Amino acid sequence: MAEEQEHRLPRTVIPRRYELTLAPDLPAATFGGQAVIAVDVVEPVSQVVLNAADLEVDEAWLVDAAGNRRSASITHDAVGERVCLELDSVAEAGPAFLHARFRGVLNDQLRGFYRSTYRDAAGEEQVLAVTQFESTSARRAFPCWDEPDLKAVFSITLVVSDGLTALANTKQVSEEPTGDGRRRVSFADTMPLSTYLVGFIVGDLEMTEPVDVDGVPLRVVHLPGKGALAAFAEECGAFGIKFFAEYFGIPYPSDKLDLVAIPDFAAGAMENLGLVTFREALLLVDPAAATQAEELVIANVVSHEIAHMWFGDLVTMRWWNGLWLKEAFATFMATVCTNAMKPEWRVWDTFGLDRTAALETDALESTRAIEYPVHSPHDAEGMYDVLTYEKGAAVLRMLEQYLGADQFRAGVQAYLAKHA
C-alpha cells in the first residue's frame, strides 16, 4: 500500500475540464504548451500535486471563482513523475482554474508526445508528431491528473506550421492564421475522458473522403500516396461502428472516427477516442495481393479498437488492476464482430487455438489472476499480457456459452448502460 500511495495523487483537487494548447516544432523536435484546467478544490489546500514527466513546467498559478490569483512555486519530482505547485496562499474549497505553461521534447521513445520518422518518396526523412499515452504517458505531453478514474472534458488546440495536417479526438471547429507561417487549429470538446485516451497528431498526411456511417464520419488517414491501401480498413471500420452500436444498444459515443496509420508505432494500435492509431501493417493492405490471413489480422485489430470506443473509452476501469475489463472485452468482441462481418472465415473455429499462449502461461507456477494488484506505472505496464487479453477473452467466451448469447448480450448492455 505504501508503494501505491507513492504513485497515487491526492484527491484534494479534482480536474473537470482541460483547455490545452500545444505548439509542436517538428524540425526542432520540441513543443510548447499552455493548459487552463477547470478544477474543483475539495478542501482548503496550499499545494496542488499532479503528474508531469519529461516536462518543464515554467509557470503555474491558480485563479479562484472570485478572480483571486495565487502564484505557485514549482517543484519537479522526476522519480514520482509529479510536479508540486506550492501556492502563495491557501485556496479555499470551490471551483477554480489552474493555469500552467510548459515545454517538452518530441522524444524518440514512442510514448508521450513523440516523433515518428519515415522516408518519403524522394528518400528524405520526414517527421510526424504523434501521441501514445496508455498507460501513464499523458503526463509526458501536458501536466495532468494521469489516473484513469479522473475523467475530464478536453478542449484541444494545436498550433501547427502551414501545410501540415492537425488531428485530434474530435472534429475541427475552427482554424485561424497566427501570422508567422502557422495556424491555430481548434477541436470540439470531448466527452469526459481518461487522460490516456487523449490523442493528437501533426504532420504531412492524407485521408480518404469521409464515409457517413449512421451520422458518424469515418476516414482512413495515411502517409501521402497510400490511399489505395485503405479500402479494407474502411470496410471494417464502417461495419464495426454499425455492429457495435446495435450490439451494445448505445450509439457511437463521439462525433467522428479517424483510423490513422503510423509508420513508427510501438503498440499494435491505440484506442484514442475518435482518433485510433495503428501500425501501418495492421491497417493498410493491398486489396489485389492480400491474403485472407492478412485481412483477418486487420479485421480483428480494427474491430478490437472500435469496440474500445464503448469498452474503455465510454466505460473505463477505475484503476489499472481492472485492465481486463476493457482489453479482454475488446478482444472477445473483436471476434464477435469479425464473425458477423465475415462468417465464411469461421473465426470461432480457431478462437480456442488462438488462446493457447494464455493457457500455457496460466499453467506456470508464476501465473497471476486476470485482475491483479497494480501499485506503480511499472506494474501497470506489466498488465498488458496474454493473461489480460487472451485468458480474459477465453473466460468471456465461456460465460457467453454458459449463459447463452442473448443473455450475455443483455448483461453487457446493462453493464455499459449502468457505467456510461
Query: What is the model's pLDDT at position 358?
Result: 86
Q: What is the pLDDT of residues 353-410, one digit of tens each?
A: 888 888 899 899 989 999 999 999 999 999 999 999 999 999 999 999 999 999 999 9
Query: What is the model's pLDDT at position 2?
Result: 47
d(CA 387, CA 210): 37
Mean pLDDT of 51-56: 98
pLDDT at 4 over 80: no
Q: What is the pLDDT of residues 227-252, one digit of tens each?
A: 999 999 999 999 999 999 999 999 99
Number of Cβ atoms within 10 Å of the Cβ of 139: 24
Tell me the backbone φ, ψ of residue 353, rounded to 5 degrees: -60, -35
Mean pLDDT of 140-161: 99
Q: What is the pLDDT of residues 106-138, one digit of tens each?
A: 999 999 999 999 999 899 999 999 999 999 999
Mean pLDDT rounded to a whole number for the chain: 96
Structural domains in the chain, CATH included, are 7-204 (2.60.40.1730), 320-419 (1.10.390.10)
Residue 257: name the closest of 277, 276, 284 by CA: 276
Contact 105, 127 (CB under 8 A): no
What pTM does this model have?
0.96
Query: What is the model's pLDDT at position 1?
Result: 43
pLDDT at 3 over 60: no
**Residue corresponding to grid cell 462525433:** 255
In the 3-class helix/strand/coil scheme, how is 144-178 assigned residue by residue? Answer: ECCCCCCCEEEEEEEEEECCCEEEECCCEEEEEEC
Q: What is the pLDDT of residues 262-317, one digit of tens each?
A: 998 988 999 999 999 999 999 999 999 999 999 999 999 999 999 999 999 999 99
Contact 142, 187 (CB under 8 A): no
Q: Which residues are catalytic?
A: 305
pLDDT tier at 338, thresholds 50, 70, 90: very high
Q: What is the pLDDT of residues 62-115, one digit of tens each?
A: 999 999 999 999 999 999 999 999 999 999 999 999 999 999 999 999 999 999
